[in-house]
Amino acid sequence: MAMTASAEGGNSSQLGIPELGPNPASEARGDVLLGPPVSFGPWTCKEPIHVGLPEEEEAMCLPLKATPPPSYPSQVRDKIVLMDNERLLFDFLLQVTRHSDLDTEIRIAGGWVRDKLLDRQRASNRIEVVVDNMNGRKFCEEVNLLLPFHGLRVEKITVIQKKSKTFRFLSSERVRMSLFGMCVDFVELRSKHYFMRKGLLLSAGGKYEVDASLRDFTINSLFYNVNTNSVEDFTGKGMRDLKSGKIMTPLNPKKTFYYDPVRVFRAIRLATSLGFELDEELRAAAIDSDVKTAINHVMWRRSIGYEVYVMFSSAKDNTLVEALRMICAMGLFWEVFNVVPSDFGMSPTSDVVCVAYMEDAWRLMQRVGLSAFETLEEKRLALYAALLLPLCDSRFTGGPVINRRFTGQVVIRFLFQKSLRLKSSEGEKVGALNWYTPKFSALFPQFLAIADQKPPPADYSCDGGDLRTSSSLRVKSGKILRKIGDLRRVLVLLSTLLYQSTDEATAATCSLEERSLNIFHKVEGLIEKMCLENIWKEKPLLNGTDLMDMFYVARGPLIGRMKKKVLQFQLAHPLATAEDCRNWMEKEYPLRVRKRSSS
């Protein structure tokens, strides 16, 4: 196992690292810079920064200060046990190096090594392969040359350039292939020299010690050497932190987070999913004012949004709730959305209310049964909507007046599209859910009166009556459910959270969780009895063309009002035909019928 010798961090000026600005307190800490200057914060630097292990000096990757002996609470394997397909893959990669006479050492890096040592089931089958003396594309070409000799077809090589809108000048690439049923990424070593250009990183080849020191956390800096079948810890801290169950950065956490603030939320996600705790120095760095400034920069919004997406997509047990609790406790909730709560009429402490709603939604989803929410998207949208439910009535009050309609549903779409840079379609669905939830929740007393076999409301009618005065429950709920589409169960779930029962007998005998579960099942059952579960798929009895032909009316606002009347009739009379609807519409618009007859 490769280990570095221990050393006390020296003066940063002795290591050839320029100071970041008017902050002399950092002189004696031995901080190592990670990455470029950006256009915010009090620190600036335009000279190249040399990060890594020069030939004569190997103190960069060592602890910045003395650490107490670890307690080693985690169960960590002494060696990695390979699955059959992994063994086939690694043997084949070694054959590639021998067949092509390559002086290349194959190592596996990243979360695969960590999860294997923790004997943890991985959510994906992706493996990151690091090659030391060539780029991944050339190695993949050598792989394709050998595949036919094993009776395998040549695989497609996908080159993922690090030149997105965020990392436009980053000159490194990730090459992806599918081998032995696994997604394999081939990457180069990270650079020993990181140059600054427009606030971004430019890299070239480097050493394994440097690569390990530049990774996000020590537990992710471990390598598995395929050649020697051993785990290598080039920072000297990876195995220690893995066994002690701590999340810590290889280099100074404050500067690591300042130049890559996305790692703050990745640390929280890893800590909750693995059951680890954040190192105290790392926690202090995450809540530093300069790091918060970096988090709010537009350059990192898409990456932070992706971390939020992963948190919500991989929600299991209580990990998502714990992650958001930790974000709130560290005062980073509003930094995630890059907004000032007072601008939306919210108090700074309302983040706790948001997380409480999401926690209640998660518990109710588990009681109902996660299988009831058919797709991963449906579960994710339910948790998004529950988290933002307190914002459904918010309106933008800070800064200049942008738009009189910048309220409620629009605010939530803004948070998705501008703050988190997530899919606009998901933002529209969450906005619609939160917009219609209070309206649907207001119908719950009528639902429960019918479900509990109490006398139904006087205006409840589904099989007749004058629709000009009737406000049928089926009509009201059907209109909302048509707008929501296939997210019916999510709407019922959110409405259950908002609804407060006034039944004192039920409240005395059941807990709040039991009452919520009973209400959910009663409303869901009535929706099915009224045949509204697929109401969003039903076509109108008369469409716009039919109405224009029927009344000789041009397309315009009047046709829109007529279509609403048709929908209202169709919801109140589920067994009616198009001819029934046509006769009823003629009674509703007699003057139009006479005008048509006279013409």
DSSP string, 29-84: GT----S---SSSS----S-EE-S--TT---TTS-SS--PPP---S---SSPPPPH
Q: What is the rounded average pLDDT of the residues 357-383?
A: 90
DSSP state of 27: G
589/596: higher pLDDT: 589
**What's the whole-number mean pLDDT along residues 127-140?**
89
Task: Report residue 104's pLDDT band, with 50, 70 and 90 as the boundaries.
Answer: confident
pLDDT mean over 431-444: 92
In 3D, which of 86, 92, 204, 178 has the Cα closest to residue 142?
92
* Mean pLDDT of the region 399-425: 69
Residue 195: is its pLDDT beyond 90? no
Task: Kindly tell me if the per-residue pLDDT of 404 is higher than 70.
Answer: no
DSSP structural state of residue 443: T
pLDDT band at 26 (very low <50, low <70, confident <90, very high): very low
Confidence of residue 483 (pLDDT cuts 50, 70, 90): very high
Report residue 162's pLDDT band, with 50, 70 and 90 as the boundaries.
low
* 119 or 58: which leads in pLDDT: 119
Q: What does the block give as tokens for 236?
A: 């000297």
**pLDDT higher than 80, residue 203:** no
Mean pLDDT of 492-516: 74
Per-residue b or e along 424-460, where b marks 16 or more CB atoms closer than 10 Å to that residue's CB: eebbebbbbbbbbbbebbebbebbbebbeeeeeeeeb
Tokens coding 135: 């780029």
Tell whether the model's pLDDT for residue 355 goes beyond 90: yes
Kindly state the average pLDDT of the residues 554-571: 89
Q: Cβ distance 283 to 326 under 8 Å?
A: no
The arithmetic mean of pLDDT across residues 103-124, rounded, is: 87
Predicted local distance difference test score (pLDDT) of residue 202? 43
Rounded to an integer, the average pLDDT of 295-319 is 86
Predicted pLDDT at 71: 41
130-154: average pLDDT: 90
The pLDDT mean for the chain works out to 77
| Percent above pLDDT 70 for the chain | 74
Q: What is the pLDDT of residue 573?
A: 87
| Res 509: pLDDT | 55
pLDDT in tens, 267-290: 999 999 999 999 999 999 999 999
Q: Could you tell me the pLDDT band of residue 11, with boundaries at 50, 70 and 90?
A: very low
pLDDT-based confidence at 482, cuts 50/70/90?
very high
Q: What is the mean pLDDT of residues 103-130?
A: 88
pLDDT tens per residue across span 69-95: 334 455 888 889 899 999 999 999 999
Lowest average pLDDT, out of 15-29, 101-115, 126-140, 492-506, goes to: 15-29
Mean pLDDT of 202-214: 70
